[in-house]
Chains A and B, each alone.
Chain A
């Protein structure tokens, strides 16, 4: 197992375009989390899955954001009609329970 994998590592997109990121968690981890991190700040929680169920969403997750985990394995985070304020590092983490959170290396999004 190579840990939590995120793709792509970097994404540059024009304002108004849609983007999709993928996260492959550690295989035996049933919990998956998405966070967003901007420069000089800590990660901010976006949403959480237990298996395929999306159990919690932050109010930071506007209607333009949607996340899925269709088979309880990998997850995707889509941002529609991107804005410059969406530029950030998007981090995925997984855990087997309520501890042992392992983060991926993140996808850095730049909206121009």
Chain B
């Protein structure tokens, strides 16, 4: 099975930088996803990492270390609209390659 751990809640100030960590244990790692989910809405895709290193996309970046079973999502220049839940999902190569989600990190951005 898979075990995915991320903090339950984080707070940050508008304009600041925040890093949301995700640690995982899985056999046959085959990719890690980050999704953003606003309350009552669908999760929306942010990033996908399958190799070690940093992937940058605008204000959002995602990092992966496969040897450490660790990823983080970095959000820069925080805006109020970034207040949402951030979901880390890991896919393993066993079975049908279906992502397993962590419980999500609720980010609250204060003015």
Binding site for B on A (CB under 8 A): 4, 33, 35, 40-45, 48, 50, 55-56, 91, 98-106, 108
Contacts and interface: CB of A to CB of B under 8 A. Distances in A.
A72 B27 CA distance: 31
Contact of B96 (A56, A91, A99): A56
Contacts, number: 52
Contacts of A99: 31, 48
Nearest to A103: B42
Contacts of B4: 42
Nearest to A39: B39
A103 B96 contact: no
B66 interface: no
B44 interface: yes
